Structure 1
Amino acid sequence: MADRLVTGDTAPAFTLKDPTGQDISLSPGNGRHTIVYFYPAASTPGCTKQACDFRDNLASLQSAGYDVVGISPDPVAKLAKFAEKESLSFPLLSDEDHAVAEAYGAWGEKKNYGKTYEGLIRSTVVVDPDGKVSLAQYNVRATGHVAKLRRDLKLDA
């Protein structure tokens, strides 16, 4: 498991497929911040709630200079169904081998109902326009996360 990222780290570059099969890359230097959020599985209750929360806040985040990208280990076809069903208008990216999640420290040991296993850790990393981490949050809650993120980014004045 990779170390977790902290403020000031260089965000690992990546290129992953979106639901249409197009390659999407993290591209520092575009003048915008990117909210990269990792979620365990499309169409599950918590992940749906979190994705819809980002969807519902997308316009205000974008007007504040933030783009949103969701990453999960789901295959592209599952992401396409999820995006269509929930009317998600931001990129969802497939990280089936979880290499990007590992590079971001979002893959590791989890415990659930007394069992320990390896899996995706619900996490959010905000990357500044220069490709540096400006905020890294791990083990976030699906419910209320976007509101907390907005407060942490000082977007709610």
Structure 2
Amino acid sequence: MLKVGELAPEIDKLATDGQRFVLSRQGGLCTVVFFFPKAFTPGCTVETRQFRDNHVELALAGASIVGISTDDHRTQCRFAESHKVPFPMIADDDHSVCRAYGVLWPLIGVARRVTYVVDPGMRVAAVFHHELQATKHRDDVLSFIDERFRAARPPAVPTAPRSAGALSLGPPSSVRLPPDVAPQPSPASALPGAASPGAPPDSDAPAPPGAPAPPGRPS
């Protein structure tokens, strides 16, 4: 099997969607390449269905996926159709891809249950191998893609909480109005009896205890 950091061999084969799958053209965050022994067997069916069910989640993270087994193309197409697989599946009936990736069982001539995560530079970023626990591959891949996706995202800029519909414009002193726009009165100044900014105090209003009386008003 290949190891993390090694260069992944090119894959260029006809897939079940009728298009040629070329690994080096995938781009995105990474490509998940999962090998499985035989179509329509219980473990391979479970594993393929799990990747199918999480295909949208992986795609949103920028990851593409391809499934490969040593079945012939016709069998692989029937397998993909019967389970409504939305990603390409490859029939490696000549064993060329399985040999290149070191996953071919030498005596029985089928692929081992190995999953590789390949980065856009064609380097192996992760390797998962569970022959009996088919469900572990999906779990390991989701965990790895989640960490890789978070690491690739720019850090979030913290923002102060504000009421719905309000725009954060900073402190009032930092907001400058154009010269021809007059400032609007605040809600408090619009109340009846409220003094406008800069108006003289009400001469009839009682002065606070101990405060000097305004000019012209008896103390």
TM-score, L = length of structure 2: 0.62
Q: Aligned-pair distance for 1:153?
A: 3.6
1:84-117 deviations in Å (ceiling 9; x for gaps): 11010000001101111111111134xxxxxx64
Counterpart AA for 1:142: A
- Report the equivalent of 1:31: 28
Whether 1:142 aligns to 2:134 is: yes
Aligned length: 148
Distance 1:152 1:31, change over 3 A: closer
- Report the equivalent of 1:50: 47
Distance 1:85 1:29, change over 3 A: closer
Whether 1:71 aligns to 2:68 is: yes
Question: Larger Cα Rg: Structure 1 or Structure 2?
Answer: 2
Distance 1:117 1:73, change over 3 A: closer
- Report the equivalent of 1:113: none
In the TM superposition, what are the counterparts of 1:114-153 in structure 2 within 5 Å?
117-140=108-131, 141-153=133-145
Q: Which has the higher contact order (CA 8 A, sep 6+)?
A: 1
Give unpaired runs (5+ residues) of structure 1.
Answer: 110-115
1:59, 1:153 → 2: CA distance? 13
What SS does structure 2 have at the residue aligned with 1:30? Answer: coil
Q: Aligned-pair distance for 1:149?
A: 2.1
Counterpart AA for 2:141: L
Counterpart AA for 1:145: H
1:118, 1:30 → 2: CA distance? 31
Counterpart AA for 1:75: D
What SS does structure 2 have at the residue aligned with 1:68? Answer: strand
2:26, 2:81 → 1: CA distance? 30
| % identity of equivalent residues | 36
TM-score, L = length of structure 1: 0.84
Q: Which runs of 4+ in 1 moved over 6 A?
A: none
When structure 1 is superposed on structure 2, of 12-21 and 127-136 the one drifting more is: 12-21
